[in-house]
A and B are shown apart, each in its own frame.
Chain A
Amino acid sequence: MEKFQRIMERSLIPVATKLASNKYLKAVSGGFSALLVIVMVGAIASLLAGLNIPAYQAILISTGLKGMIGWISTYTTGMIALYAVFLIGKSLADQLECKDQSIIVGITTLLMFLLTIPTGVTGVTEEGVKVVTASAIKITYFGAPGLFTAIILGLIVPNIYNVFVKKNIVIKMPEGVPPQIANGFSGILPCAFLAMVFIIIRWGVSLTSWGTLNDMIYGVLRAPLGTFTESPFTFMLLLIVCNLLWWFGIHGGMVVMPFLSILYMTPALENLDALANGVAMPNLLMNTWWFVFAQVGGSGGIIGLTILMTFFAKSERFKAVGKIAILPSLCGISEPIVFGAPLVLNVMLLIPMILAPLVAFLLSYFMTVIGVLPYLNGIQLSTGTPIVFAGILAGGWRAGLWQLVIVVIQFFIYLPFSKICDKQILDEEALES
């Protein structure tokens, strides 16, 4: 065991530390976390429009409210890439030398994103009329399918911009010109250069069978990433890494979250879209699963353990920590347990800490595949949403109830290990007094 600990401390921890402070991953997770307000409002609208109660739906449709609420989803989750490209670009710029101009860099990134989308759309309007419009942009590119392009551009464009700032290839203003104005001017050269590059890219791609940069990136990435994300093993790997890091007392979520967002946010948004439009949800696995089914009670899946400690433990320490930790854990915050029990470097509790979230995940996966549990709607819940309520929001009463079942599963997985631990502490306490 000590050997394992040493090997991990030498291999996993430095890698994780590097990942957690990697500027590209930080840009992605920073950008996505700033998106939360847009995603949440969109999700609420989708829930309101899609709530499956016949009488309620009849009223919505007859009053025309359904369409109106739908507007909100269309312009939030339906255009998520537009917000994301700006925020990721800005978030990366914040970490580069061009950080004083990060908003201008964000806008520049947005421009490059838009530049790659050709005008001209043929389609059917909301009223069902077939139209060909020359001066229109296909909003599909603004939605989940454009998210990959948004991430890629958000990570490339600021770097190119930064070269100009670093090498000082900018239009300089004389002393005394207010910095806001000077900054605006200094953005002209890099932005113009980038625009040149991107019109050439757009032209180049238009010669291929993909036609647009978005279709190319989506076409190339969605299929392989899709196979990758649909596999429960990918999700399990992220879970194991996250909880293993927490066992070392390191915030595993911070390391894993960028990957979870990149791989599992698009499927979630696709489901939200489907919910708003009243069609069947396409994706089983997505980032919503993380909080709702896998890490119930936070990292380590510890609600079961807090109950054991609060109500069944004999040692003073377990009882005390349990009392402190039980309410936060119901809202998905596990730090009091992780550091208080502690789970950190606690050999006895390593196995259940890894196992409880995995078993909860696998059973939920199985129950969804056989149709007992519904597909989740992809709502983006933040930590802090109470258990059961989170489940109901994400998948209705069955998902809410299932969260309670998961707590029972956690309880029994932790039971034997917690008992041994409790006894050890009790013996120590007896020695001390």
Chain B
Amino acid sequence: MKNIVLFCAAGMSTSLLVKKMEKAAEQEGFECKIAAHSLNELKTYGPDADIVLLGPQVRYNLDKVKTELPEKLVVVIDMKQYGMMDGKGVLEMVHKTLGE
């Protein structure tokens, strides 16, 4: 089971996307855990993630997150997909990044 963790400023708008992603995952029968948190909680929730996604509004933290979690896959979510709350699209990107 894959653990997908999203981070933004407060974890508020990303949690909207999480809902959509969960729905998409259920439809394709992809077993995973998806959660959204505030960047302040990076140290708590980052280490257990299989893949870390950043909201585009906090993309300038990418380098810092990568140094904090050197072994993790860290990806910034595409602005368009984020805006459209395109859970399916983001999940596809996750599959690709995880090399599935």
Chain A interface (Cβ within 8 Å of chain B)?
13, 16-17, 20-21, 30, 33, 246, 249-251, 253-254, 320-321, 324, 328, 333, 335-342, 344, 383-384
Please, how many angstroms separate the alpha-carbon atoms of A222 and B10 in the complex?
30
User: How many interface residues does B have (CB within 8 Å)?
Assistant: 21
Map CB proximity to A onto B12-55 as digits: 1 under 8 Å, 0 otherwise.
Answer: 11001000000000000000000000001000000000000001
B9 adjacent to A251 (CB under 8 Å): yes
B56 adjacent to A383 (CB under 8 Å): no
Q: For chain B, residues 46 to 83, give those with C-beta under 8 angstroms from any C-beta of chain A.
A: 55-61, 64, 79-80, 82-83
Please indicate the chain B residues that have their CB under 8 angstroms from the CB of A336 in the complex: 13, 16, 83-85
Does B5 belong to the interface (CB within 8 Å)? no
A383 adjacent to B79 (CB under 8 Å): no
Most chain A C-beta atoms within 10 Å of own C-beta, residue among B58, B79, B80: B79
Would you call the interface of chain B mostly helix, strand, loop, or mixed?
A: helix
Chain B interface (Cβ within 8 Å of chain A)?
8-10, 12-13, 16, 40, 55-61, 64, 79-80, 82-85
Please, how many angstroms separate the alpha-carbon atoms of A253 and B13 in the complex?
13
Partner of A324, one of B40, B80, B85: B85
B16 adjacent to A249 (CB under 8 Å): no
In the complex, 18 of the A-B residue pairs with CB atoms within 8 angstroms, ordered by the A residue number, are: A17-B60, A21-B60, A249-B56, A250-B60, A328-B13, A328-B16, A333-B12, A333-B16, A335-B83, A336-B85, A337-B83, A339-B57, A339-B80, A340-B80, A340-B85, A342-B83, A344-B79, A383-B10
Distance from B41 Cβ to chain A, minimum over Cβ atoms (Å): 11
Distance from A38 Cβ to chain B, minimum over Cβ atoms (Å): 18
Distance from A339 Cβ to chain B, minimum over Cβ atoms (Å): 3
B84 adjacent to A335 (CB under 8 Å): no
